[in-house]
Amino acid sequence: MPRLKYLLVTLTFAASLLAQQPAKSHTDDWWKHAVIYEIYPRSFQDSDGDGIGDINGITSRLDYLKDLGVNAIWITPMYPSPGIDYGYDISNYTAIDPEYGTMADFDHMVAEAKKRGIRVIMDYVINHTSDQSPWFIESRSSRDNPKRDWYIWRDGKGPGQPPNNWQSWFGHSAWTFDEKTNQWYYHYFYPQQPDLNWRNPEVQKAMEGVLEFWMNHGVDGFRIDAVSRLFEDPGLHDDPYLPGYNAYGDRNIEHKYTDNYPEVNDILKRLRKVVGKYPGDPVLITEADEPNITELTKLYGNGDEVQLPMDFQIADVNKLSAPDFRRLFSDVENNTAHGQPEYFFSNHDQPRQWDRYGDGVHNDQIAKLVATLLLTTRGTPQMYYGEEIGMRTTDPARIEDVHDPIGKLGWPKEKGRDGERTPMQWDTAANAGFTTSAKPWLPIPTSSSVYNVENEKPDPNSIFNAYKTLLARRQSEPALRDGSQVNVDEQNPYVFSFLRKASGSTVLVSLNMSAEPHTVYLNLAGKGVKGTALKPLYSSPPFGDEIISADHIALPPFGVLVAKVQ
Ligand code: GLC
Ligand code: MG
């Protein structure tokens, strides 16, 4: 081969390699240092007066988010949907539901977010589609339709009998009979959410195309919904029963044959490859309720699956227990993949942290303590809209008012998820500034007259300003941004203390998780830290700016200290 041609071929080959593997740039690993803010679009800000939040509403609040100090937003589904599961039943993955706006509104929002240094993460709901998806409509039309195998169709055990005893997470059988073709289809969630068959390569291809579509619209990553549910036992074995009954009146069951199949990891690898073709280090986050650190660690693969598995173990401690948090965070620090999970305490599926951790007496103080825990630990924090102002869960009072179907099915034991999805509380105007409509889609909680952005912004001791200060410290202090996390005072039953250590700087965090005052005496030298003088970076109730000694830290009930060691 002539030299020049050889050189060209080599260069082209090198370029194609580079195209497959974008060069590392300053944007790489941004997700390690970001704080992600979850937006439930229906409830964040209404811009057109129909009582339902929308995309232009989000865009109008980007300055608020920038001022608060978050770096990315994850928006729950805004795709066309019949809305049985409020957007988690998608009928078209590559469009915007007119209820929320247009594709042009979306592109505008992404561009405006970018200008403010805020990244956009989409929800990627892959276990199931809506039963109104054209894919499913075709699939159910006949047994020999080319899309029949895109879903999971099986014969019943006998007349009127489903193929086995598998149960839906949302109550009753996971199988629904379809008269037309005389077979049953499988759905882990509502009957209107048929499960896709991820063993079918055409399904894989179609869903990979969805990722590409949104990457081309400039998004920065995806939160993958319900990922552990992608595969089920092809042998259709019955799940084992457990003692007792659930809120829906079904026998309790262990979802042994419908959860956490190792094939999930193969799919995650494929998805990571798809987003990895794009520059800017796009992030994948998994919603997978893993029972322990060993299972959670598998989601990193060899660094070729997801960057940020959500840590449900820490999210669900549900009591202020220093020993429990100490043990769980140290599990994470020692995970064999050296991965960094995503931490959160609230989301659109569970009662807000205000209610889960509050004791009814010290709730504001506890809200600041939980904020400190979230924003000073080493994982990537994820906030849920409104937690920064102390929003609480406000369940419907009557079954007639319930929107979320599980609330109707399980009433009164299970009131559904409306309570944690109420509109954002912006100010003291009508409907808390959320909408100009007389009828917001969910009622505005009465607590909004006190707990709202307008009231809390000027108050230095508000929950809002606790978040704002902590978010700023997390960016400005190298130890909080990047440092390792090391427990101290390990036997203390009431106070959870740990160090964040980066080269050349150390920050101490002490959280009194009890309603009694406690004094801690820390031996930092024993942890290889020089210096015992502490300069407060954030404290609540406020300690003032004076230097205190690590030998003697007096913490009031639920008191919090974040301090630089000098
Ligand atoms: C996830 C979502 C939840 C939804 C379910 C089914 O758990 O967070 O809101 O109902 O998946 O898509
Ligand atoms: Mg609207």
Condensed to tens digits (0 to 9), the pLDDT of residues 260-295 reads: 999 999 999 999 999 999 999 999 999 999 999 999
pLDDT digits (tens, 9 = 90+) for 458-513: 999 999 999 999 999 999 999 999 999 999 999 999 999 999 999 999 999 999 99
Buried b (16+ CB within 10 A) or exposed e, 12-32: eeeeeeeeeeeeeeeeeebbb
pLDDT digits (tens, 9 = 90+) for 344-387: 999 999 999 999 999 999 999 999 999 999 999 999 999 999 99
**84 CA to middle of ligand 1, Å?**
11
Residues 356/369, Cβ–Cβ less than 8 Å: no
Residues 485/500, Cβ–Cβ less than 8 Å: yes
Pick the atom of ligand 1 nearest to 88's CA: 12
pLDDT digits (tens, 9 = 90+) for 47-62: 999 999 999 999 999 9
Ligand showing the shortest atom-to-Cα distance for residue 196:
1
**Stretch (H or E) spanning 509:** strand 505-512
CA 91, CA 83: separation in Å to the nearest integer? Answer: 10
Q: In the predicted model, is pLDDT for residue 529 greater than 90?
A: yes
- Predicted pLDDT at 19: 47
Q: In the predicted model, is pLDDT for residue 188 greater than 60?
A: yes
Residues 372/511, Cβ–Cβ less than 8 Å: yes
**428 CA to middle of ligand 2, Å?**
20
- Predicted pLDDT at 26: 53
CA 470, CA 561: separation in Å to the nearest integer? Answer: 11
pLDDT digits (tens, 9 = 90+) for 437-463: 999 999 999 999 999 999 999 999 999
Average pLDDT over residues 237-261: 97
Pick the atom of ligand 1 nearest to 189's CA: 6
Ligand showing the shortest atom-to-Cα distance for residue 124:
1
Among 285, 272, 273, 307, residue whose Cα is nearest residue 224 = 285
Residues 381/471, Cβ–Cβ less than 8 Å: no
- Predicted pLDDT at 20: 47
Helix (H, G, I), strand (E, B) or coil at 37: strand
**416 CA to middle of ligand 2, Å?**
23
Q: What is the DSSP string of 106-170?
A: HHHHHHHHHHTT-EEEEEEE-SB--TTSHHHHHHHH-TT-TTGGGB-EE--SBTTB-SS--B-TT
Query: At 380, phi and psi to the nearest 5?
Result: -90, 115
CA 563, CA 493: separation in Å to the nearest integer? Answer: 21
Query: At 511, phi and psi to the nearest 5?
Result: -125, 115
Q: Is 225 in the pocket of ligand 1 (CB under 6 A)?
A: yes
- Predicted pLDDT at 24: 52
- Predicted pLDDT at 28: 73
- Predicted pLDDT at 438: 96
pLDDT digits (tens, 9 = 90+) for 299-333: 999 999 999 999 999 999 999 999 999 999 999 99
pLDDT digits (tens, 9 = 90+) for 149-177: 999 999 999 999 999 999 999 999 999 99
Helices 363-376 and 463-476, packing angle to 10 deg: 20
Active site annotation includes 546: no
- Predicted pLDDT at 1: 43
Long-range contacts of 187-190 (CB under 8 A, 24+ apart): 187/128, 188/127, 188/128, 188/226, 188/229, 188/258, 189/85, 189/88, 189/127, 189/128, 189/226, 190/84, 190/85, 190/89, 190/405
CA 226, CA 125: separation in Å to the nearest integer? Answer: 7
Q: Output the six-digit token pair for 55.
A: 């995309």
Residues 498/555, Cβ–Cβ less than 8 Å: no
Residues 25/279, Cβ–Cβ less than 8 Å: yes
Please give the model's pTM, rounded to 2 decimal places: 0.95
Pick the atom of ligand 1 nearest to 348's CA: 9
CA 566, CA 562: separation in Å to the nearest integer? Answer: 13
The DSSP bridge pattern shows strands 241-245 and 221-225 to be: unpaired
Query: At 232, phi and psi to the nearest 5?
Result: -130, 165
**Stretch (H or E) spanning 520:** strand 518-520
Q: Which of 349, 350, 409, 420 to mutate to test the pocket of ligand 1 (most atoms within 8 A of CB)?
A: 349
Q: In the predicted model, is pLDDT for residue 22 greater than 50?
A: no
Q: Is 88 in the pocket of ligand 1 (CB under 6 A)?
A: yes
Helices 201-216 and 263-276, packing angle to 10 deg: 30
- Predicted pLDDT at 5: 52
Q: Is 226 in the pocket of ligand 1 (CB under 6 A)?
A: yes
Mean of all residue pLDDT scores within the chain = 95
- Predicted pLDDT at 336: 93
